[in-house]
Amino acid sequence: PNSFRNDNANSQCEYNRIGILCGGCEEGTSIVFGSNRCVRCGHNEWLIIVFLLMGILLIVSIGFLNFTITEGYLNGVIFYSNVLSFFIPIYTPFLNGARIFIFISLLNFDPGVETCVYPEMTTLARTGLSFLFPFYLFLLMFALIVIARCSSRVANAGFSPTKVFATLLLLCYSSVSRTCIEILGFIEFTGPTGNKYVGWQLDPNQTYG
């Protein structure tokens, strides 16, 4: 940035970020889904309910409308989007944001656009929410399996647990893998006093280990 000051390390950070290696957000700002920017955020907790409802719709679509990887070219589309999802953070700064990757991002359970959930959400909280959503989908799937075993009407509707599980596994693969890599990533550096410090790679202000 043009306003760099030697007496203020935070002046070298952009997008309202502060702290060690610009890993944190300024007070009153929140990290968002879809990018690593920190923005002013209102109370949008209702988005969590939307995602929960979308999870139910996704399971119903896969299980009862037969949108599974055994039909058509869906297998190749999902696999292709899984591969590209790992490169989205690299190319979005050069392509004016992640909006052109909305479709790919949605297939990997990412909004694809900057989405703020609640004020002062940290990177750790965002990672936790990203990690919980795939498990929520599998919980719904197992609930449907139990219902299908207890209700002949559901079983006769064409619900195939094997196909649903395989499709969900492929859909969640990229999201879970990326989140695990983010959780396990750490960085080592030496502070001004000569002490060695180990911090979380996404937010070095968080002590790792």
For the chain, give the mean pLDDT: 77
User: In the predicted model, what is the mean pLDDT of residues 67-73?
Assistant: 68
Task: Identify the residue whose tokens are 């992640």.
Answer: 98
Answer whether residue 161 shows pLDDT above 90. Answer: no
- pLDDT value at residue 71: 67
- pLDDT value at residue 98: 47
Q: Is 84 in contact with 102 (CB distance < 8 Å)?
A: no
The least confident of 1-10, 61-70, 112-121 is 1-10
Q: Is 144 in contact with 59 (CB distance < 8 Å)?
A: yes
User: In the predicted model, what is the mean pLDDT of residues 133-150?
Assistant: 82
Does the CA dihedral 179-180-181-184 come out positive or negative?
positive
Answer whether residue 130 shows pLDDT above 70. Answer: yes
- At 30, is the pLDDT very low, low, confident or very high (cuts 50, 70, 90)? very high
Q: Is 139 in contact with 59 (CB distance < 8 Å)?
A: no
Rounded to whole angstroms, the Cα distance separating 13 from 33 reads 19
Rounded to whole angstroms, the Cα distance separating 76 from 82 reads 10
Per-residue exposure over 62-77, b if at least 16 CB sit within 10 Å of its own CB, e if not? bbeeebbbeeeebeee
- pLDDT value at residue 207: 84
Answer whether residue 179 shows pLDDT above 60. Answer: yes
- pLDDT value at residue 176: 84
Q: Is 24 in contact with 205 (CB distance < 8 Å)?
A: yes
How many CA atoms lie less than 13 Å away from 203 in the CB half-sphere? Answer: 20
- At 29, is the pLDDT very low, low, confident or very high (cuts 50, 70, 90)? very high
